[in-house]
Chains A and B, each alone.
Chain A
Amino acid sequence: MKISRTLLASILAASMALGGCAMDEKDDDTYQVVMVTDTGGINDQSFNQTSWKGLQDFHNKNGAIVRYLESKQASDFTTNLDRATDTYPDIVWGIGFSLADSLLQVAAMNPDINFAIVDQAFDETPQNVTGVVFKAEESSFLVGYIAGLSTKTDKVGYVGAMKTFVNDQFEYGFLAGVAYAAAELGKEIEVQEQFTESYSDVAKAKGIANKMFANGCDIVFHSAGGAGFGVIESAKENNQFAIGVDTDQSYLAPDNVLTSGLKNVDVAVESISDMDRQGEEIGGKTFSYGLKENGVGIPENNPNMDPEVYKKAMAIQDQIINGELVIPSTEETYNEFITNVIQK
């Protein structure tokens, strides 16, 4: 009894001593960035990992402190964003639109810290929040165009994650690209579509892709984040082509990845953090990254692609950058695109 009482007393004393001194004070010397992942985790081979790469590049260039927190469940978002504010960072990144509500809540409680979020544009952006969106429809249009020119069976597949405005960019950009190629070649190309309803269910994405290949598709594009691994695995097993997303995914299956629709989240994360570091006012705004800003695109080396096709795709890319070709990102603009551009 006596022992346990002494033990209890010493634990209490220790906790008070540690607790008293551990409330960190702000350290003004070094610029500090923290990012909070969504439930995909830091090694999702997709935008969480790319964002972290951007921060590591940022660290290598100017020695800033960079840290990350991984979210395991949706209930971790607020907790982690709040935890991130404890070390008094200069900017806190939320990776992915799932964190939007939590980010607004935590930003309201910490008016002195800047927050930025990938893939989210708010209707009303608070003064200490920055939105970053990507014109993913532009890169998706390019890969759709490439898929349309490359298919031999005149059937291509698309595996989406779930119906959200971000996913719409990929979906309608891709559809428009395929339609554009079909119109150019003067033939019909069928697009089979299905959704995984998840960014991490690899098995489900693989099952969907297997079915598409069995139905005669020879190229499948995905925008299902980490779940999209399944699509690439399936392409490898069926010896057909997959089109990667977000990063150049050709290393996953060198002979079976046609190309990838890049979303250079690292470029955006790095350049916006740098703007903030140099004292530019970034709060209350939404930044948009397209082909022009090198925010999206396709890789330079595509060993599985016909060089002719690549040349044509680059010509289209120039048209998009010039503004001659405006790519649809929603169902409505897609339908307009079909009537105004394709059917002419």
Chain B
Amino acid sequence: MTKFITILKKPVTGTLISIFFGFILAGVILAFAGYNPFSAFHALITGIIGRPKYLANIVVKSTPLILTGVSVAFAYKMGLFNIGAEGQYIVGALAANLVGIFVNLPAVLEIPLVIAAGVAAGALYGALVGWLKARFKIHEVISGIMLNWIALYFSNWVISLEGISKPNTSGAYPIFSSGWTTFLPEWKSTEAAADFMTNHPYLGDVLRTDFNGGFIFAIALAIIASFVLYRTTKGYQLRAVGDNTDAAEFAGIDVKKNIIHTMLISGAMAGLAGALNIAGNAPHAVMQLAAFEGNGLNGLSVAFIADGSPLGCIFSGFLFGGLLYAGQSIQYMIGAPSEIISILIGTIVFLVALKDVVIVLANKLEAREILKNKNNTQDKDKQVKGGVQPC
């Protein structure tokens, strides 16, 4: 029983229980809508692990989510709610796209340059939010949301300009192929490639997708962010400000500087997500957007499912990306609307927010256990006093 309580008390247990109940609720909704939940979940699982390329696609889909998740989680440790990750993602993608159109260098220089442009743009855009907060006390949620819209329309305007807008499409020119991080991009549409793919079902399957090196960045960054937060002085300062701003200031930590630094780093990570998407995924260009694609906003959900832990974002990012990608299979195979996946994700996030209930439950169980033990020992004491030997 004590062991059970210890497990319940671990933060990850609450999250797993929330995910489990999220699936149950989605199943109930599916059943009410007239679809068999079991065949739906079978389609979902097949959509995740059915073929090697599904896994590859999930990795591709999850990469930006992990990065924006880490971006949000990092800022959250300092008490900042970086809802502006969406805008930082957009400017990152735009900057990477522009550099990739106008500069043509060999791949070893082009790829770092394209990515650096995105990181720099995202960092500056994030730092702007931090500066507004530090200098004028403008809440980062307000400025973040406003800057998201500015980024969206600015991006739409820039890519409609002549020389950037690709004729007869709704987007910009793609970046030079030397900037692509996709594996073997040129070779893929050749006949030799078609032969190879038929002869090597598993490897060929993965090569069909936009599988690229971006996820290595994402995982590495999650580890680095975790290291910075928990193993460096800077990270200690950031967390101290997040826990108690006044106390941190009293202890001699420069709060304003740290706010700007945090937003700069957080923005850089969201910008990196945008740049990697341009470098790694077809069409390698920014498109006209009517609404947010949600790469940054989904990062909020990813960070909260991970309970604000950068390492946890790797897992919740894959969960999120997997659900988004494989959710289509539910719709594809059994015809249920793809919105069901949005409901599933929404339910999980909602339940994760309520997961402290599990801790309360664990505490209650523990209290009862202690009481029982106490009663038992009292009984034993009485028995001993009464002269009866316990067996």
Contact = CB atoms under 8 A, between A and B. Distances in A.
A274 interface: no
A105 B291 contact: no
Contact of A197 (B49, B52, B160, B328): B160
A77 B281 CA distance: 10
B182 to A, nearest CB: 10
B290 interface: yes
Interface string B49-72: 111110001001000000000000
Contacts of B293: 72-73
A79 B57 contact: yes
Contacts of A23: 50-51, 201
A42 B126 CA distance: 35
A42 to B, nearest CB: 9
Interface in A191-243: 197-202, 204, 227
B209 interface: yes
Given A22-B46, A98-B169, 6 more contacts: A82-B53, A83-B332, A108-B189, A163-B167, A198-B288, A198-B290
Interface in B211-238: none
Interface string B262-280: 0000000000000001000
Contacts of B360: none
Contacts, number: 101
A18 B50 contact: yes
Query: Which of B51, B167, B285 has the most chain A CB within a 10 Å cutoff?
Result: B51
A74 B171 CA distance: 9
Contacts of B194: 108-109, 111
A200 B51 contact: no
Interface string A26-41: 0000000000000100
A250 interface: no
By size class, the interface of chain A is: 35 or more
A82 B208 contact: yes
Nearest to B338: A70
A69 B189 contact: no
Interface in A83-140: 83, 86, 97-98, 101-102, 104-105, 108-109, 111
B62 to A, nearest CB: 13
Contacts of A19: 49-52
A15 interface: yes
Given A19-B51, A78-B282, A164-B169, A69 B209 contact: no
B283 A162 contact: no
A239 to B, nearest CB: 27
Nearest to A43: B337
A97 B168 contact: yes
A6 interface: no
A111 B191 CA distance: 10
Given A18-B49, A86-B51, A70 B328 contact: yes
Contact of B283 (A102, A104, A165, A199): A102
A123 to B, nearest CB: 12
B281 A83 contact: no
B363 interface: no
Interface string B173-213: 00000000000000011000110010001000000111000
Sorted nearest first, the 3 A-B pairs with minimum C-beta distance are A22-B50, A200-B290, A201-B290
B45 interface: yes
Contacts of B156: 197-198
A277 interface: no
A322 interface: no
Contacts of B45: 18
Contact of B288 (A70, A97, A108, A162): A162
A75 B209 CA distance: 11
B209 A82 contact: yes
B258 interface: no
A35 to B, nearest CB: 11
B198 to A, nearest CB: 9
Contact of B331 (A70, A101, A105): A70
Contacts of B285: 74
A98 B197 CA distance: 26
B291 A18 contact: no
Contact of A67 (B46, B208, B332): B332
Contacts of A97: 168-169
Given A102-B282, A109-B194, A198-B290, A165 B168 contact: yes
A199 B244 CA distance: 48
Given A97-B168, A164-B168, A197-B288, A75 B46 contact: no
A167 to B, nearest CB: 9
Contacts of B171: 74
B375 to A, nearest CB: 31
Contacts of A69: 328, 331-332
7 contacts: A67-B335, A69-B332, A75-B210, A109-B193, A164-B167, A164-B170, A199-B170
Contacts of B160: 162, 197
Contacts of B51: 19, 22-23, 86
Contacts of A72: 293
Given A72-B293, A83-B332, A105 B282 contact: yes
Given A23-B51, A69-B328, A200-B291, A109 B210 contact: no
Contacts of A102: 282-283
Nearest to A71: B328
Contacts of A227: 290
Contact of A74 (B197, B201, B283): B283
A90 B45 CA distance: 25
A244 to B, nearest CB: 19
B202 to A, nearest CB: 9
Contacts of B57: 79, 83
Contacts of B287: 39, 73-74
Contacts of B49: 15, 18-19, 22
Nearest to B160: A197
A72 B281 CA distance: 14
Interface in B322-368: 328, 331-332, 335, 338
Nearest to B208: A82
A109 B290 contact: no
B328 A83 contact: yes
B277 A75 contact: yes
Contacts of B167: 163-164
A109 B46 contact: no
Contacts of B197: 109
Query: Which of A18, A68, A83 has the most chain B CB within a 10 Å cutoff?
Result: A83
A145 B277 CA distance: 46
